A and B are shown apart, each in its own frame.
Chain A
Amino acid sequence: MEILIYLKGLKYSMATISSGAHTRKIGRKLMLTLIIAFLLTFLTVAANGYTVEIVSVQTTDMQGNPKTEFKRGEFVVVNVKIKSLLTYESQDYLLIVQVKTPDERVIALGFTSGSLAPGQEVSTGYGFKIPDDAPTGTYKVEIFVWNGWPAIMGGNWKPLSEKETTTITVTT
């Protein structure tokens, strides 16, 4: 017997349990474990519908020192720590970092992709150089975690987490 979960159109295959005198005992234990795992996952996911949590976002210099004030021409590293909220299967992710100037222009847009095992926490990020002629002021650093690009995923697109925003200050 195969247990399948359909959630928002996505199919989650939990396990296949074979029937038979010997395997029935193991099957009951396994089923109980699966039910508990399913309920825990369902309760977590149902709370907001997201399957990845952005644990932290931190901007640093090239040496890894945390800072939020940068000069024109300097490099900024955006470190993002994400965690899978799924407890029973892996999931692929696309993490996008977008940086906007005070006048809402996109001056940096980078991405990274990978796979998260159940409950796994991963540190990733993106670095960019502030142009020498960039305007001074407060810049928005936006982080998105999706299951893929909208242009590729179409109707199967899904955000895996809430959008996260932080700021940096650029001076002369």
Chain B
Amino acid sequence: MNKVVLALIVSFLLVLGFKGILAAQAISVSVTTDKDVYYQYEMVYITVTVTSDGSPVAGEDVGIQVLDPDGFTVYTDQGKTDNNGEVIFYFRLNPNAKCGEYTIIATVTGGEGEGKFRVVPRAIVGGEVNQINKLELLPMIIANNINLIVLIVVAVLAIYIVSQRILENNRLS
């Protein structure tokens, strides 16, 4: 009786062992993001795809860890793959997120994948401009156009002098 039970257990364990080893060897994990470069405070969407011999693996637990440029963990998550072998993770970068290259590590039991993205400072897209009296701008306009103003003044003076001389010559003649 014991021998039969033992034989059954050994067979069962062998099957489980081989199944585990085979499954672990064939798994492939790919990591992609919706963009290569993000601004601070932007949403990051990460797609992890799990395949086995090219076929999607559904219902697989995926763990994810995102490391900042200094190697500190800034985001973790866990999800299950859908029928396409995909799971999507998302998070928003902090407004003061470090700029540089971030690393995404996605793992399943028996496989792992890696992805990268960059974070750059957020562009200034807005601001407040106060109403300014046009007269306040006059000194700035003069300073910026001083060469042109001098040229115009000299030209006007030259025209005036020339015209006066012509008029005087006409009077004398």
Residues of chain A at the chain B interface (Cβ within 8 Å): 3-10, 28, 31, 35, 38, 49, 96, 98, 100, 103-106, 109, 142, 144, 146, 149-151, 153-159, 163
Contacts and interface: CB of A to CB of B under 8 A. Distances in A.
Interface size class of B (residues with CB under 8 A): 35 or more
A109 B74 contact: yes
A159 B13 contact: no
A31 B2 contact: yes
- Nearest 9 interchain pairs by C-beta: A6-B17, A157-B107, A150-B107, A9-B20, A9-B24, A104-B92, A150-B65, A163-B78, A150-B63
A142 B94 contact: no
Interface in B17-41: 17, 20-21, 23-24, 27
B13 A4 contact: yes
A130 to B, nearest CB: 15
A88 to B, nearest CB: 14
Nearest to B78: A163
A155 B24 contact: yes
Interface string B81-113: 000000000111110000000000111111110
Contact of A106 (B91, B105, B109): B91
Interface of B: 2, 5-6, 9, 13, 16-17, 20-21, 23-24, 27, 43, 61, 63-65, 67, 73-79, 90-94, 105-112
A171 B43 CA distance: 24
A6 B106 contact: no
B65 A144 contact: no
DSSP majority for the B interface?
strand
B20 A153 contact: no
20 contacts: A5-B16, A6-B21, A8-B24, A8-B109, A8-B110, A31-B5, A49-B61, A106-B75, A106-B91, A106-B94, A109-B75, A144-B77, A146-B78, A153-B107, A155-B24, A155-B107, A157-B109, A158-B61, A163-B78, A163-B79
Contacts of A100: 91
A151 B9 CA distance: 36
B3 to A, nearest CB: 11
A144 B76 contact: yes
A157 B5 contact: no
Nearest to B22: A9
A9 B18 CA distance: 8
Contacts of B108: 155, 157
